[in-house]
Amino acid sequence: MSITSDLIRGHTETIILASLMHGDSYGYQINKEILRKTDNQFELKEATLYSAFRRLEQANLILSYWGNENVGARRRYYAITDAGKKAYMQNLKEWEETKNIINSLIILD
């Protein structure tokens, strides 16, 4: 896990929103997807993931419902709301701007 928690801080919610832009999903799956997408370089810690879910739902950026699995462990599915989609777009824009700012500050001339 080369990525440090302070560098990821502030991106957790956007990462979750981005994942849900592809369709409804649940915690475990979202994290596995993150692992896959980053070639096992990164995953969210469970406590981080679930506290982010709570914040996002509180802010009405996502909503949740229990899946109707009749076998295996229960799953709580999450769906992104319209407000969530807007927030995602906004966060993406901010990321592009922040990226430029950081680049200009830490890369030497």
Binding residue for DNA (CB under 7 A) from 22, 36, 37, 76?
76
Q: Tell me the one-letter amino acid at 77.
A: Y
Q: How far apart are CA 104 and CA 109, in angstroms?
A: 9
Question: Tokens 């995953």 sit at which residue?
Answer: 43
Q: 77 φ, ψ to 5°? A: -85, 150
Binding at 22: pick from its own copies, DNA, none (beta carbon under 5-8 Å per type): its own copies
Binders of its own copies in range 62-101 (CB under 8 A): 91-92, 94-95, 97-99, 101
Q: Name the one range near DNA by CB under 7 A: 51-59, 85-93, 98-106.
A: 51-59
Between the two ends of the chain, the Cα-to-Cα distance in Å is 30
| Token code pair at residue 109 | 């001339």
Interface positions with its own copies (CB under 8 A): 2-11, 14-15, 18-19, 21-22, 34, 37-38, 41-42, 91-92, 94-95, 97-99, 101-102, 104-108
